[in-house]
Amino acid sequence: MNHDDLRDWSKRAADWAHGYHATLRDKPVRAPLIPGAISRQLPPAPPEAAEPIEAIFADFDRIVPPGLTHWQHPRFFAYFPANAAPASMLAEQLANAIAAQGMIWQTSPAVTEVEQVMVDWLRQALGLPAGFTGTIHDSATTATLSAVLTMREAALDWAGNRDGLSGQPRLRIYASAETHSSVDKAVRVAGIGQENLVKVPTDMTLSMKPGALAGAIAADRAAGYLPAGVVLCAGGTSVGAFDRIADCIAVARAHGLPVHVDAAWAGSAMICPEFRDLWAGVEGAESIVFNPHKWLGAQFDCSVQFLANPAPQIRTLGLRPTYLQTAGREEVVNFNEWTVPLGRRFRALKLWFTLRAYGLEGLRARIRNHVTWSRELAAALAQIPGVRIVTGPALSLFTFALEDDAATEALLSRINDDGRVYLTQTRHQGAYVIRVQVGQFDCTRDDVMSVAEVVKDLI
Ligand code: PLP
């Protein structure tokens, strides 16, 4: 295959994509779960001889779609949708065509400079103060890992990077049990250890108790631990918990600890000023992550980390061997020094296209609709005999259950086997509950309200 063939096949792929998206509503959202059904259709060994693209494309069309859970299906209400607005898909096609690797400014100034401007556009869109700068990661997990590594090194005065962790004091990171498991992963990968992630108790509103945070830090200090930082959640994955950011930051500040705020899915809602009370005080954080690939429609993957001061993270993650230097250009930003991987894709391009093609007003309208429809749906479900709303809408996420765990789990299986909508589960205060998360870029009010119809049919 050469570039002339690529041009022709790209047109075929675009037609295929159009047909795929146009018919999504007719397809079951979740893939049928028969392990091995796809892999056994693939030859066990790679081909020795080249094959025609015609055959490869035909096999793709035959084998892959039946094994897909359709993330762009308008009735996808599971997890949080990884959206892909058409304008962002177009930008991804261009980024693929360019195939630039923007590890340092010199390896494509446009990649770095568009990223700088897009991070600043988003800072303004979310109402964050002018001092914040930032970078784009693949995922919130990587951003949180970067923040935790920085907490570790700042606490150790960068001795961990130099000498390793053995012989260092035991570090402590604080978060509530409502924060995402990416925080647990970060403390493991950072060598801090799961046992040193202190799960601070939450109050009735599911916010971390600031007093309990202060108590845990003081007790740890007295016991000889080295507190290193606090991770707060603004929109937990399970049921949408929000820590009281200002109060918790005040405690962290009083103890000299940096704060990272995980707003992976809910952060996008802050483009709507009326939701900003939910993370009031966030401007006091050292680091904030949110995923435009969730509610803003930028195609996966695209996770933005804002930093009040990038210097500690650059000191933690940045290396500049001779082969990565830009001759005579000390003033430029080399984003690999802000992140774990060296290589980086041109992710900012899809932000540029998406923000311009829909405008902040268009994006706000979607988010406001999702929040409104989520409330309407929760009210409709509450009318169905036997259905109990367990946690009310936190922005566009709520949970419901039947009389007991077994009945709830069985209902969820029936819903997802039925295929008209896709929902997932969590545990809340010990009980098995069904999550409904509205956030798919193309969903309509009818799509959202169809969940009530499906539940009525299957209960
Ligand atoms: N934090 C929260 C609150 C999330 O909801 C998620 C994923 O859904 C993550 C972190 C992890 O996101 P990512 O897949 O970008 O690593």
Domain ranges of the chain: 101-345
Half-sphere exposure of 165 (CA within 13 A, CB side): 14
**pLDDT given at position 356:** 98
Which are the contacts of 59, defined by CB distance < 8 A and separation ≥ 6? Answer: none
Q: Is the CB of 279 under 6 A from ligand 1?
A: no
Q: Using the mean position of ligand 1's atoms as its centre, give its distance from the Cα of residue 139 in Å.
A: 7
Amino acid in the structure at residue 316: T
Topology annotation, domain 101-345:
Aspartate Aminotransferase; domain 2 (3.40.640)
Q: Is the CB of 268 under 6 A from ligand 1?
A: no
The whole model's pTM is what?
A: 0.97
Q: Using the mean position of ligand 1's atoms as its centre, give its distance from the Cα of residue 82 in Å.
A: 10
CA–CA dist 354, 346 (Å, integer): 14
Q: Is the CB of 442 under 6 A from ligand 1?
A: no
- Convert 127-189 into a string of H (helix), E (strand) and C (coil): CCCCCCEEEEECCHHHHHHHHHHHHHHHHCCCHHHHHCCCCCCCEEEEEECCCCHHHHHHHHH
Which are the contacts of 348, defined by CB distance < 8 A and separation ≥ 6? Answer: 111, 114, 115, 117, 118, 119, 136
Q: Is the CB of 150 under 6 A from ligand 1?
A: no
Which is the closest atom of ligand 1 to the Cα of 235?
3
Q: Is the CB of 435 under 6 A from ligand 1?
A: no
**pLDDT given at position 325:** 87
Residue 283, classified by CB atoms within 10 Å of its CB into exposed (0-12), middle (13-18) or buried (19+), is: middle
Which is the closest atom of ligand 1 to the Cα of 142?
16
Classify the C-alpha dihedral 101-154-279-436 as positive or negative: positive
pLDDT tens, 278-321?
999 999 999 999 999 999 999 999 999 999 999 999 999 999 99
DSSP code, position 76: B
Ligand 1 pocket, mutate which of 76, 77, 141, 261 (most atoms under 8 A from CB): 141
**pLDDT given at position 295:** 97
* Mean pLDDT score of the chain: 96
Which is the closest atom of ligand 1 to the Cα of 263?
3
